[in-house]
Amino acid sequence: MAIELSYLIAMQYKLRPYQQQAVNATVEHFKKTDESAVIVLPTGSGKSLVISELARIARHNILVLAHVKELVEQNHAKYQSYGLEASIFSAGLAQKDNQHQVTFGSVQSVAPNLKKFTQHYSLVIIDECHRVGMIDDNKDSQNQYQQIISHLKSNNPNLKVLGLTATPYRMGSGWVYQYHYHGYSRGETQSVFKHCIFEMPLSLMIKQGFLTKPTLIDAAIAHYDFGSLSAQKNGEYNSNEVNSLLTQYPRVTQAICQQVIELSAQRQGVMIFAATTKHAREIMGYLSDHDCAMILGSTPNQERDDIINDFKHKRIKYLVNVAVLTTGFDAPHVDFIALLRPTQSVSLFQQIVGRGLRLSDNKQDCLVIDYAGSGFDLYRPEVGSAKPNSDSVPVMVPCPLCQFGNTFWGKTDQDGLIIEHYGRRCAGVELDDDDKHQQCDYRFRFKECGQCGQENDIAARNCNACGHAIIDPDQLLKKALSLKDAMVLRCSGMSVEADSKVSTKLKITYFDEDGAQVSESFNMAVNGAKHAFNQQFGKRAVQGTLPTIFDSAAQIIAQQQQLTAPDFVIARKQKHYWQIKEKIFDYQGNYRKANQLG
């Protein structure tokens, strides 16, 4: 009878097709290699079922890690639904046991107790694996995840490491993996996870009916304007600056809360994401006549558990929080998300919205209102860098070398044609002669080494080929600005015209935003001049998307719209003219470029 009961329990959770694909991809990957891997599944996709199935079919000891007790408990419960037993090692759940083949543990509890983990583990599964960070071989500075991995590898050098996340890119730390199975590169060599082996797009899950359809509306009332604030490296904002700005919008907050109340009349559960603690308390003041509660980072554990339990059982309708319920929170009945906090991260935006996309009885859709004016498209791809400016959009830029279609930030005209893009290097990946992944070498923007001519990333300090120091453009500009006989142009444009006397010669004039100008000439009949022009302008034609070897002055004049102007031009005064000494392309630094706000 017990066997039949276990079988029936196991059958309650039949894997969805994409979940089975994720499991299959994992098995196939680790059959071929021990290199670490990542599965990317959107919030609400059932990662815990994928974890449970992998643990069920495993033959050796497995450790499943999570950063909060709610996820440890949730993953353990799903595994038990197969009729199988597993250990829990989590102080927050009042259990510290690892005697079973499968152990579900919190990273905070496992890391200080590594002496209890002397078994031979074959696999470590990390839920919300974007928290692991970059590779660190220094035991004194390793975070707890990496301490655990290092310890288990000392017992089994062939330990396999699998991560699951809905947000594989984190502002401030970058991509969590290096290579994607669709054939492109994401992270750097120090990424803890080597390969993304399976990914399920959010749009496809909604289309196939595995997630609730979101209804995103633009509320017809005033929004907050966070545009004047500067985001920190991790995409978040300084709380004091946010609080200072919000004091300018007391009526806006009141109007938003009133609208949320009106629009939620027929809704089951409302989650409100506030910007700061002070902001959350202000919101609670406007909701005080309704069934509401607030969770902060400082909320005691028991009080937090009670609030979440009441919310899940619909005794509370409005749940206000500040950056604590973006992960590890499962309340399927949520059908209204109100975003009142700013963010620069599309991944975080998707994760917040994902709180309301789980399927539930009597739930037709999830209403989503972005009162912070983030301007994100829920379905767009993660670009992998901060949005350069408010009118930037993701654009597809093919590599002229390998033809890979890169997604970069850029600007388009009314017809959708690309005006400019901000990409640096092609992300395409090919296999080398040893069947190893190798990222395409093509760079859309680059610094050229003055010693060997190698193209380097625009942020490089030393040449990646010869190791020679690359001159910092800020140092060049600072020095030039301090000289009385030097002129620095913030180049806002340039013109190209034929020489009136020599047909093989052309004149390029650079203009700054104040009307100053300086010129130089290239004689395309002279090999040295032709080489110099092509190195500076030919490689950067159409912002590096169409590198061209120009042969004649006539060709250049005919195709001058394809040329990319430098950002700065440095000239030195001679007796009767200005001689150009340096041109700085693809500038990133402390000085303002032309037509940029100071």
Task: Assess whether 196 and 214 both reside in one domain.
Answer: no
The token duo for 466 is 């010869």
Task: Assess whether 188 and 51 both reside in one domain.
Answer: yes
pLDDT value for 233: 61
pLDDT value for 375: 73
Mean pLDDT within 106-126: 95
Task: Report yes or no on 456 lying in a domain.
Answer: no
pLDDT value for 168: 86
SS3 338: strand
Residue 220, C-beta contacts closer than 8 angstroms, at least 6 positions apart:
none
Nearest residue to 490 (alpha-carbon basis) of 379, 596, 364, 593 = 593
Would strands 87-90 and 95-96 be described as parallel, antiparallel, or unpaired? Answer: antiparallel
Mean pLDDT within 315-320: 95
pLDDT value for 373: 78
pLDDT value for 3: 38
Distance of CA 509 to the CA centre of its chain: 40
pLDDT value for 235: 59
Percentage, residues of the chain above pLDDT 70? 91
Task: Assess whether 77 and 186 both reside in one domain.
Answer: yes
Q: What is the pLDDT of residues 81-107, one digit of tens each?
A: 888 999 999 999 999 999 999 999 999
More confident residue, 295 or 459: 295
DSSP H helical ranges for 92-193: 107-110, 144-155
d(CA 219, CA 227): 18
Task: Assess whether 132 and 54 both reside in one domain.
Answer: yes
Burial class of 437 by CB neighbour count within 10 A (0 to 12, 13 to 18, 19+):
middle
d(CA 441, CA 494): 29
Q: What is the pLDDT of residues 419-437, one digit of tens each?
A: 889 998 898 888 777 777 8
pLDDT value for 315: 95
Q: Which amino acid is at 250?
A: P
Task: Report yes or no on 458 lying in a domain.
Answer: no
Task: Report yes or no on 466 lying in a domain.
Answer: no
Task: Assess whether 222 and 194 both reside in one domain.
Answer: no
More confident residue, 21 or 183: 21
Reply yes or no on whether the pLDDT at 248 is more than 80. no
The secondary structure element, H or E, covering residue 93 is none
Task: Report yes or no on 376 lying in a domain.
Answer: no
Task: Assess whether 411 and 514 both reside in one domain.
Answer: no
Number of domains in the chain: 4
Angle at 43 between CA 40 and CA 47, to 5 degrees: 60
Percentage, residues of the chain above pLDDT 90? 51
Which of 171, 200, 229 lies at the terminal end of a domain, its last residue? 200
Task: Assess whether 490 and 364 both reside in one domain.
Answer: no
CB 66 within 8 A of CB 131: no
Which of 200, 224, 244 lies at the terminal end of a domain, its last residue? 200
More confident residue, 367 or 515: 367
Mean pLDDT within 563-575: 93
CB 311 within 8 A of CB 126: no
More confident residue, 413 or 387: 413
pLDDT value for 465: 87
d(CA 164, CA 51): 9
Task: Report yes or no on 460 lying in a domain.
Answer: no
Task: Assess whether 196 and 218 both reside in one domain.
Answer: no
SS3 512: strand
Confidence band of 598 (pLDDT split at 50, 70, 90)? low
If you average pLDDT over every residue of the chain, what do you get?
87
d(CA 327, CA 66): 11
Q: What is the pLDDT of residues 355-396, one digit of tens each?
A: 999 999 889 999 999 888 777 777 776 777 777 777 788 888
CB 469 within 8 A of CB 452: no
Reply yes or no on whether the pLDDT at 76 is more than 90. yes
SS3 174: strand
Task: Report yes or no on 578 lying in a domain.
Answer: yes
Residue 563 DSSP symbol:
P
Q: What is the pLDDT of residues 21-75, one digit of tens each?
A: 999 999 999 999 999 999 999 888 889 999 999 999 999 999 999 998 889 999 9
Would strands 366-370 and 37-40 be described as parallel, antiparallel, or unpaired? Answer: unpaired
Most confident range (mean pLDDT) of 39-48, 239-248, 407-416 is 39-48
Placement of tokens 């093919």 in the chain: 398
d(CA 308, CA 293): 9
More confident residue, 104 or 9: 104
d(CA 161, CA 37): 7
Task: Assess whether 182 and 78 both reside in one domain.
Answer: yes
Q: What is the pLDDT of residues 283-298, one digit of tens each?
A: 999 998 889 999 998 8
We report the CATH number of the domain holding residue 112 as: 3.40.50.300
Domain range for 551 is: 471-584
Task: Report yes or no on 591 lying in a domain.
Answer: no
Task: Assess whether 403 and 332 both reside in one domain.
Answer: no
Which of 200, 227, 245 lies at the terminal end of a domain, its last residue? 200
Placement of tokens 């003041």 in the chain: 285
Q: Which amino acid is at 164?
A: L
The token duo for 379 is 């379905």
Task: Assess whether 173 and 265 both reside in one domain.
Answer: no
The token duo for 504 is 């093989």
pLDDT value for 114: 95
Task: Report yes or no on 172 lying in a domain.
Answer: yes
Residue 16 DSSP symbol:
P
pLDDT value for 6: 42
Mean pLDDT within 458-479: 89
pLDDT value for 1: 35
Reply yes or no on whether the pLDDT at 4 is more than 80. no
**Angle, in degrees to the nearest 10, between helices 277-286 and 250-263:** 60
Mean pLDDT within 528-538: 92
Reply yes or no on whether the pLDDT at 117 is more than 90. yes
CB 448 within 8 A of CB 456: yes
pTM metric for this prediction: 0.76
Mean pLDDT within 326-351: 83
Task: Assess whether 486 and 349 both reside in one domain.
Answer: no
Mean pLDDT within 293-319: 92
Confidence band of 154 (pLDDT split at 50, 70, 90)? very high
